[in-house]
């Protein structure tokens, strides 16, 4: 339990430092709500990329044209989700809901709406 809590706190630090490009209507999730919303789900993007959030913490992202990244994911504060890839690179994004649809915000200020 402590290992998971420590990992979540460490991973959340970069996400909290990001200057997210929020828009009117963007609603953030509490950590537990984000965990429940993503656990066991696949998010499909308009470029046909797919993020799979396993209930066991496993994560895969498959590009629309092929190629897959693997790692482990954890929900964090401020609607952030952080993934540590098998390469030991960590990436944190913010997932919000706007008009009933999920949108992934990157630290670079990009917005990726999720297909319904």
At 76-105, the pLDDT tens digits run: 999 999 999 999 999 999 999 999 999 999
What tens digit of pLDDT does each residue of 57-84 get? 999 999 998 999 999 999 999 999 999 9
Note the pLDDT of residue 18. Answer: 66
**Could you tell me if 70 and 87 are in contact, meaning their C-beta atoms sit under 8 angstroms apart?**
no
Is the pLDDT reported for residue 19 higher than 80? no
Q: How far is it, in rounded angstroms, from Cα 107 to Cα 91?
A: 9
Domains and CATH numbers, the chain: 2-113 (2.40.128)
Indicate the average pLDDT of the chain.
89
The set of residues, in sequence order, having a beta carbon less than 8 Å from that of 56 and lying 6+ positions away, is: none
pLDDT for res 39: 98
């Amino acid at each position: 339990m402590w290992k998971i809590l420590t990992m979540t706190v460490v991973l959340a630090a970069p996400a909290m430092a990001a200057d997210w490009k929020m828009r009117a209507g963007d609603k953030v999730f509490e950590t537990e709500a984000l965990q429940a919303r993503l656990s066991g789900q696949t998010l499909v993007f308009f470029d046909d990329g797919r993020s799979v959030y396993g209930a066991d913490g496993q994560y895969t992202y498959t590009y629309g044209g092929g190629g897959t990244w693997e790692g482990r994911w954890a929900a964090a504060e401020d609607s952030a989700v952080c993934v540590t890839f098998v390469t030991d690179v960590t990436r944190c994004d913010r997932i919000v809901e706007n008009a009933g649809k999920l949108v992934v915000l990157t630290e670079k200020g990009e917005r990726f709406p999720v297909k319904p």
